[in-house]
Amino acid sequence: MYIRAKYVSKVDGAIYWAVWISCVHFLFRSLGPENLLLKGATLKNTKKIYGVAVYTGMETKMALNYQGKSQKRSAVEKSINAFLIVYLLILLTKATICTALKYLWQSTPHNDEPWYNQKTQKERDTWKVLKIFTDFLSFMVLFNFIIPVSMYVTVEMQKFLGSFFISWDKDFFDEEINEGALVNTSDLNEELGQVDYVFTDKTGTLTENCMEFIECCIDGHKYKGIIQETDGLSQTDGPLTYFDKADKNREELFLRALCLCHTVEIKTNDAVDGATESADLTYVCSSPDEIALVKGAQKYGFTFLGIQNGHMRLENQRKEIEEYELLHTLNFDSVRRRMSVIVKTPTGDILLFCKGADSAVFPRVQKDEIASTKIHVDQNAMDGYRTLCIAFKEIAPDEYERIDKQLIEAKMALQDREEKMDKVFDDIETNMNLIGATAVEDRLQDQAAETIEALHAAGLKVWVLTGDKMETAKSTCYACRLFQTSTELLELTTRTIEESASKEGRLCELLNEYQKKLNEYPKSSRSLKKTWTEHQEFGLIIDGSTLSLILNSAQDTVSNNYKSIFLQICMKCTAVLCCRMAPLQKAQIVKMVKNLKGSPITLSIGDGANDVSMILESHVGIGVKGKEGRQAARNSDYSVPKFKHLKKLLLAHGHLYYMRIAHLVQYFFYKNLCFILPQFLYQFFCGFSQQPLYDAAYLTMYNICFTSLPILAYSLLEQHINIDTLTSDPRLYMKISGNAMLQLGPFIYWTFLAAFEGTVFFFGTYFLFQTSSLEENAKVFGNWTFGTIVFTVLVFTVTLKLALDTRYWTWINHFVIWGSLAFYVFFSFFWGGIIWPFLKQQRMYFVFAHMLTSVSTWLAIVLLIFISLFPEILLIVLRNVNHGSARRNLSCKKASDSLSTRPSVRPLLLRTFSDESNIL
């Protein structure tokens, strides 16, 4: 026996591989996505494989399907661009004004050509329009420092370095998986502080995705507990009688279905994972549900032993080994919501076993078998369990030959292979017999309820998007406190719509009814975002089929309003539950909310591959490092081990990131306006001759050395509110929502503050120079001394302004703030104390040292710094006084309330005899 492999052909992406066995005949096998080994795959649970390299070079998926990925841009970046346009207009305005005033001033003959600066003949013959344009460009160059180019470098550094704080946070470390948080992109750090909507998956995100088999029902009989030899596995409250359980053959058929209808494999010892410590069988599978079902069957006496030579082996209750030849596997997908296997029994019978969601199985079984099982399925779903229905059918040999031929033809199809396979699967999975159903528990994650409560208190709307049954998802939503007991639920599901003959008519009625009910709800004068944190009134439940009806309704005048009415209802609901959702529908929901008026910031969090679409669609994508692989974590912007970590990620890190970068942006525009405004005012006193006020070294070093490090340290380390306070009081998150710190009001405040301080710098120094002599030896200071005094006041003022804004001092802050000021003084002495051979002009030689010999200069510098910072100091004092009085009033009110209400608030049973005696 030998095997010879030969590559046959590849047409339209369909690949054939022909295997010559024993030189007798060819076996054709199609290769599909399930056969592809992705990068990093490890050979396990098999000794060898036959491989083929496909899609290489320009036929790789990356080369064929590459297209520019849409870049996610934060709200802060958009604000920066808007501010930049404003400052560019200011730059153009300054250059235009100075150019116009220059030629107005030169209209007087003695100003245009003074006796000491006569024009050459070439200058007189130059075209005047060209001269005006040249002067305009000269002023643009002179004032171009108002555009904070260095801000972009600092912002990128702040984002990159700041992202490490998330990775280093020990609270995000999970001992179970021995991993912490991971930052895949640093461009969206501040966006974590601006989230309006949170879209979350249920299984593996809100729940642990650790499945445990709870119970099952067979032919309408409930089974729970451990198998007994005499009674089977039926559970009753009293003595067991025959009619309280299903037939013994049906019980065994049900358990065999659990052992055979799955894709579970047995984990063996290998060089990758090492030897297993336990002697028990270790099951591995991509779906925890399947492992739970196999373990459930094992608990009741049927043990799956693995697959050998294409035969599935199991051990029955009598410790007998049974082998079933695996003929075909009809794989599960999110559209079919079921999977099936076709096996041949030891007696030669061919059986099909199918398991799937009730909505996918019930329409394909006998109608009279549904009622008894549906009762248990609905009850288990209401209890929060995940349910699956089990069905089977016998296939005649001649019918199997036809099915086998259809399956092979569909798998070997060159075009539309998936559609043809789905059609064949649908034809096969019909006229089945329902055996029973299973109930699997997926426990709620630790602190999931507290996290959702905190997000609600922070003003965020939380939507749950899941593929589970409505009853199961609803139970989970109540358990995690997404829905409160006082929440009135509005349902837009198949159950409510199918009550009428016309689905679209009934949908229109429900939408109008719910809209009217919500409009009757009393409106608050405050913003909607604050009202939903205090009053939880309405919740919406919608399933996938109804959503499809809304999004894909007929294009007539009535149904065109479905989507708009639906969005209005969603916006007025506290929470929304979307069940029976396909992955594409999850992305459609996120996109629909993204396009709402006001462009709310969306965040999606999930753990599986079916959540990748909504993670990529939202503004911020969070991947949970769950048990369904790492697809979500790899495609996300941030990944965390558990859902509970979302609370600190948004309320603490997001809050601080936004506050830091918002202050950084405003501060950069502020200090550059302070820098350039005196230069602009100086032109009015130098005949608009483009004479610079500052030395070239100061112009270059201002943004690079003198003022760069303090704001960078501030933007990385500042904590205006303690992290514990931010996490314990989620309402603080609302204070920065809506890009509050980069709105027009704060921007105007910073701009006017910069204009005030720049005016003080220039005219304060100007009035100082009204005295012709500032030194005892009657020496007169020149224009470079004038500019140096202005620049010194400027550097000290903007640096001390940042020191006033700092609330969280570290040694790094002290080092960079006071070190920057010391470096400026040292550099000024060094730059002016040496005659540099590479400079044609030594205009700053000994200027700074001479300037400091004047007592008047010292007094002027200190006085001008104080005058410039006085409004800021006054504002801080008033703010602290108001906060102190408000805090005292609040504490007094709490104390009086507690004293006045204590006797009535305490329950009667908790009052002691001493309490009663004191009252008497």
Mapping DSSP to helix (H, G, I), strand (E, B) and coil, where does residue 170 land?
A: helix
Enumerate the β-bridge partners of residue 171. none
Determine whether 797 is exposed, middle or buried from the number of CB atoms within 10 Å of its CB (0-12, 13-18, 19+): buried
SS3 readout for 849-912: HHHCCCHHHHHHHHHHHHHHHHHHHHHHHHHHHHHHHHHHHHHHHHHHHHHHHHHHHCCHHHCC
Residue 13 has phi, psi (to 5 degrees) of 85, -5
Residues 163, 188: Cα–Cα separation, whole Å? 9
For residue 447, what are the contacts with CB-CB under 8 A and spacing of at least 6? 642, 644, 647
Residues 507, 505: Cα–Cα separation, whole Å? 5
From 187, 201, 358, 607, active-site residue: 201
β strands within 332-467, DSSP E: 338-344, 350-356, 386-395, 433-444, 461-465
Closest CA to 202 of 681, 575, 714: 575
Contact 778, 840 (CB under 8 A): no
How many of the other CB atoms lie within 10 Å of CB of 191?
23
Contact 200, 473 (CB under 8 A): no
Cα 568 to Cα 464, 516, 517, distances in angstroms = 18, 11, 12
Residues 609, 264: Cα–Cα separation, whole Å? 19
Residues 411, 421: Cα–Cα separation, whole Å? 7
Q: Pairing mode, if any, of strands 386-395 and 283-284?
A: unpaired
β strands within 476-535, DSSP E: 488-492
Q: What are the structure tokens assigned to 625, written together?
A: 């490092």
Where are the alpha helices (H) located in 704-809, listed in sequence order?
Answer: 708-717, 723-728, 744-768, 783-805
201 is catalytic: yes
Residues 120, 71: Cα–Cα separation, whole Å? 56
Amino acid at 112: D
Which residues are marked as active site? 201
